[in-house]
């Protein structure tokens, strides 16, 4: 066995999902006995067999990934309960294993994956999916870069043809439920449970939370200010305008797209625009249109 083959064999063994008892499986997906696989590249010692030595790496790989995944999606774990969440995590991570030096990107494909695999989301699928959207937006908003915001003078000089950029940390969401309230409440419970119990909440078994949440179309901006995360509810028109700006449309076209099918009376729109721009300027959401920096990744 050459070095590359040995590395690939060991990687496949380490990434093999654990049993429900958190032990290494006796056979891999190809039906090979893992004791025989381990013997190909792991030597036993006076205390552990080759299988047992390989099992240590297999378990630590999955414990680390599952712990990091639960840290990024603690509210989703509470909505689903620990058993359903763990099953979801294993299935997702088999299709989308970590391919970066950092675990920051572990959940990057989760929302799209869940849209294709709603069977993992339990009874309240749309709510759970919205919770996942908000929690991933939190990761992006906290880690993404920041550009110099437009000054008040620059904003005052904008015309209908002006093309603008948005802060890379600004995340815009269209939700079926007010999932920001759900995430805030469940994150608070998570912190309280950690402080009172002294154990890491993501390692504890938990039943699904009983939540009474009415369906309500919600438009949300998740952003960062002074190294803290904030949620801000916005109107459909404001959401559509910001999305149009982000797509590269000129300001005039973006405003036209924002007010498409709007119930806001024509006479009221100038005051709405004034309020939006006041908020955007205060929060520094607008920037010059330039190449966006790559996301800063956390190790």
Question: What pLDDT was estimated at residue 195?
Answer: 57
Over the chain (299 residues), the average pLDDT of each successive run of 10 is: 92 95 95 96 95 97 95 96 96 93 94 97 95 98 95 92 96 97 91 63 79 94 95 97 96 96 96 95 90 44
Per-residue CA distances from 80 to 32, 213, 250 (Å): 34, 15, 42
Nearest to 85 by CA among 114, 56, 48: 114
Question: What pLDDT was estimated at residue 297?
Answer: 43
What's the CA gap between 164 and 251, in Å, rounded?
Answer: 7
For residues 179, 183, 185, 187, the Cα torsion angle rounded to the nearest 10 degrees is 180
Question: What pLDDT was estimated at residue 216?
Answer: 96
Question: What pLDDT was estimated at residue 292?
Answer: 44
Angle at 76 between CA 73 and CA 77, to 5 degrees: 85
What's the CA gap between 26 and 54, in Å, rounded?
Answer: 12
φ, ψ of residue 194 to 5 degrees: the values are -70, -40
Question: What pLDDT was estimated at residue 130?
Answer: 98
Every domain of the chain and the residues it spans: 1-71, 73-288
pTM across the whole model = 0.88
Question: What pLDDT was estimated at residue 190?
Answer: 80
What's the CA gap between 126 and 176, in Å, rounded?
Answer: 7
Question: What pLDDT was estimated at residue 293?
Answer: 46
What's the CA gap between 124 and 211, in Å, rounded?
Answer: 10
SS3 assignment, position 40: helix
Question: What pLDDT was estimated at residue 199?
Answer: 57
């Amino acid at each position: 066995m050459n070095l590359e083959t040995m590395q690939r064999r060991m990687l496949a063994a380490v990434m093999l999902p654990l049993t429900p008892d958190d032990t290494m499986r006796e056979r891999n997906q190809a039906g090979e006995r893992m004791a025989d696989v381990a013997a190909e590249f792991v030597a036993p010692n006076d205390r552990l067999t080759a299988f047992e030595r390989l099992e240590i790496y297999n378990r630590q790989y999955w414990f680390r990934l599952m712990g990091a995944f639960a840290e990024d999606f603690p509210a989703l774990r509470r909505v689903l309960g620990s058993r359903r969440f763990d099953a979801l995590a294993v299935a997702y991570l088999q299709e989308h294993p970590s391919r970066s030096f950092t675990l920051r990107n572990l959940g990057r494909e989760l929302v799209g994956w869940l849209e294709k695999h709603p069977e993992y989301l339990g009874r309240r699928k749309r709510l759970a999916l919205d919770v996942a959207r908000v929690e991933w937006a939190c990761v992006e908003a906290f880690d993404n870069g920041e550009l110099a915001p437009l000054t008040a003078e620059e904003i005052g000089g904008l015309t209908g043809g002006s093309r603008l950029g948005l802060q890379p940390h600004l995340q815009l969401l269209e939700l079926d439920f007010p999932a920001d309230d759900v995430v805030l409440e469940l994150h608070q419970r998570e912190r309280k449970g950690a402080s009172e119990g002294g154990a890491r909440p993501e390692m504890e078994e938990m039943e699904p939370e009983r939540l009474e949440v009415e369906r309500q179309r919600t438009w949300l901006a998740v952003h960062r200010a002074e190294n803290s995360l904030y949620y801000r509810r916005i109107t459909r028109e404001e959401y559509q305008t910001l999305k149009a700006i982000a797509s590269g449309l000129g300001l005039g076209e973006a405003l036209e797209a924002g007010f498409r099918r709007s119930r806001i009376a024509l006479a009221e729109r100038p005051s709405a625009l004034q309020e939006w721009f006041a908020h955007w300027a205060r929060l520094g959401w607008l920037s010059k249109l330039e190449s966006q920096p790559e996301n800063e990744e956390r190790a």
